[in-house]
Amino acid sequence: MGDRTAAVAGCLAGAVALLGTLFKALTDRGRRSDPALHYGYACGALIGAGMAASAPAAAPALVTVLSDPSHLTLMADQLKVAASGALAMMAYSTRPAATARRAVRRQAALTAASVGLGIAAFLAASPVREGATVVVGGAGRPVLAAYVVLFAVHTSWCLAVFGFLIGRCARCLPPGALRLGLRLMALSALVGLLWTADSLHDLANILTTGRENGAESRVSAVAGAVCLALGFAGATASAWADWAGRARAWRDHRRLGPLWAAMRTALPEIELVSPERLFGGLPGRRRGDVRFALYRRIIEIRDGQLALRPHLHPAVPVWVGEVAGPAGAEELAAVVEAAAIAAGLEAARAGHRFPVGPGEGCVPHPVPADIHEEAAWLVKVAAAYTGSPAVTHVRSLVRAELGRAAMRR
């Protein structure tokens, strides 16, 4: 059961690394000149390849193309060493340009030396592979143990550098998706240290029995999967936040539709441009225009409210109070604003202007100068416009009053 868990977790970790790297590359199409991204892509691809090489399911196919089956363990380990080096270089790239270049060169030299020494130590130990286990003779045990120590020290150093520098960057940022993403990445480095610590178990086995399990252990594979999941969740946090923002904008755009359509029918001049139908009827040239479509809809509704000011009935707040049930101040304000719009549209269609000062008693509810809060407020107004009995009551009273005025004329 433990071997099966390790195999599944190892395959999952490799898939997360490779698919996460692909997803990150697709979402970074406008920022691919950033060196940190290049190191991140390299890290993801290398660690994914290393985890795939460690997976028991991949061993039979890979062993057939290697001159020595034990080289499969060497290949998987050195891919992980190179990946940890790329991870540290990515963290160094967040520093000022001149400092970053020097640090990246030093780290590249350190990683290259670690890979070279690791290959030399592994070959000098002359291990053999029995299934997923690497076996070494008595004279080769210290050499293979040095190989494992070199792997653990280099990887731990790179993870510590990454966690420290990325964590420091996160502390300098305001709350938001970017800071959350950096913190998740720093947390992934801590889990990565646990992942690396499992090599101490391999070290003890080599020194006492001369055997090392070339596949990931259960703890190591699970820690690796968690580490990579946290890392790629952090790396793509901004993209997920952007997609969530687009989804919220699309939802708000749809919810404002009935109110906007009623105002545009009565006041066609509020429409800024002729709409282009795309993405479920949203105006715009591409999917990325969904936020622009929402901003434009808000502007057009506000323009409509300005155009309705001479047609607003001053008695609307009183009429709403006659039928409105118990409600909070904000909910009541949304109903009053919706009822004022409904009454104004009726009067505008009839060409009637009320003699009282424009909009007296029906001033729109003030909202902070933030597009998201304004959208949220207008969504409440739109919901009241289509679903509040008070709005229906006010609309009927205005129609009756306009009918009497027409008869008098």
SS (H, E, C) 226-242: HHHHHHHHHHCHHHHHH
pLDDT tens-digit series, residues 21-51: 666 666 666 555 677 777 877 887 887 777 7
Give the per-residue pLDDT at 252. 93
Mention every residue, 6+ apart, whose C-beta is less than 8 A from residue 283. 273, 275, 276, 277, 289, 293, 296
Give the per-residue pLDDT at 284. 43
Give the per-residue pLDDT at 16. 60
Token reading at 192: 């990565």
What CA–CA distance (Å, rounded) separates 73 from 364? 70
* pLDDT at 293 exceeding the cut of 50: yes
What CA–CA distance (Å, rounded) separates 171 from 166? 9
Give the per-residue pLDDT at 12. 56
What CA–CA distance (Å, rounded) separates 53 from 33? 30
* pLDDT at 122 exceeding the cut of 60: yes
* Helix, strand, coil percentages in the chain from 3-state DSSP, rounded to 5: 75, 5, 20
Higher pLDDT, 98 or 379: 379
> In the 8-state DSSP scheme, what is residue 212?
E
Mean pLDDT of the chain: 79
Task: State what percent of residues in the chain have pLDDT above 90.
Answer: 20
Pick the closest to residue 309 from 258, 385, 364, 270 (CA basis): 364
* pLDDT at 199 exceeding the cut of 70: yes
Average pLDDT rounded to a whole number, residues 318-341: 83
* pLDDT at 332 exceeding the cut of 90: no
Give the per-residue pLDDT at 120. 93
What CA–CA distance (Å, rounded) separates 237 from 235? 6
Task: State what percent of residues in the chain have pLDDT above 70.
Answer: 75
What CA–CA distance (Å, rounded) separates 10 from 53? 10
Q: Which of 70-79, 275-284, 354-363 has the lowest mean pLDDT?
A: 275-284
Give the per-residue pLDDT at 132. 65
What CA–CA distance (Å, rounded) separates 181 from 166? 10
Give the per-residue pLDDT at 272. 79
Give the per-residue pLDDT at 17. 61
Give the per-residue pLDDT at 219. 67
pLDDT tens-digit series, residues 240-257: 787 888 889 999 999 999
pLDDT band at 95 (very low <50, low <70, confident <90, very high): confident
> In the 8-state DSSP scheme, what is residue 135?
E
Q: For residue 265, count CB atoms less than 10 angstroms from its CB and return exposed for 0-12, middle for 13-18, buried for 19 or more.
A: exposed
What CA–CA distance (Å, rounded) separates 217 from 196? 11
Strands 133-135 and 277-278: unpaired
* pLDDT at 216 exceeding the cut of 60: no
* pLDDT at 117 exceeding the cut of 90: yes
What CA–CA distance (Å, rounded) separates 55 from 236? 26
Higher pLDDT, 119 or 330: 119
Give whole-number Cα distances, 55 to 10, 114, 128, 134, 152, in Å: 6, 23, 18, 15, 20
pLDDT band at 286 (very low <50, low <70, confident <90, very high): very low
Q: Which of 1-5, 184-188, 213-217, 378-382 has the lowest mean pLDDT?
A: 1-5
pLDDT tens-digit series, residues 346-404: 888 888 887 654 445 456 667 666 788 889 999 999 999 998 898 898 888 888 887 76
| Contact (CB, 8 A) for 215 and 132 | yes
* pLDDT at 110 exceeding the cut of 90: yes
What CA–CA distance (Å, rounded) separates 18 from 47? 8
Query: Which domains are seen in the chain, by residue range?
Result: 2-235 (1.20.1070), 244-408 (no CATH)
What CA–CA distance (Å, rounded) separates 32 from 161? 23
b vs e for 72-105, b when ≥16 Cβ sit within 10 Å of the residue's Cβ? Answer: bbbbbbbbbbbbbbbbbbbbbbbbeeeebeebbe
